[in-house]
Structure 1
């Protein structure tokens, strides 16, 4: 009877090794459920920025959302500061 338990244990470990190597398919991609801030299209106003709220994640605000907003503002400032010809 003990050999049956050993065979089951070996089978489970073998199946785990095959699954860990990716032979049984891949894990689905991660799902992001962090709410996205609403940004109006076109130029942003001071009121748009004052009303903006970022999704809170485990360690604070979502870095990706803050980086996207900063990039958008930087591009807007770059186009506003170009000398007119």
Structure 2
């Protein structure tokens, strides 16, 4: 009976140590605080962001960060969407200017 009690106490101690280590390493589920301005190496142009700009964006690797494949997928999708929208705007502006020049 004493041996079983010792094993039980040891299991509880090991579980407590594992729990404490996990909570220190992974936190308690709180959100990460916002970075102060200028603290990120991620750069984008002030205006005229293109799909290539989004494709070139890289984020810092941290222990509790985002899943890289998901971020890459979203950036790729947004880049294509941005390029398509810019092409459509250019097409519409060209179509609008063409009839106006012909009426003069």
Shared topology, TM-score over 0.5? no
| Structure 1 or 2: more helix by fraction | 2
TM-score bracket, shorter-length normalisation: 0.3 to 0.5
Structure-2-length-normalised TM-score: 0.36
TM-score under structure 1 length normalisation: 0.40
Higher relative contact order (CA 8 A, sep 6+): 2
Higher strand proportion = 1
Bigger Cα Rg:
2
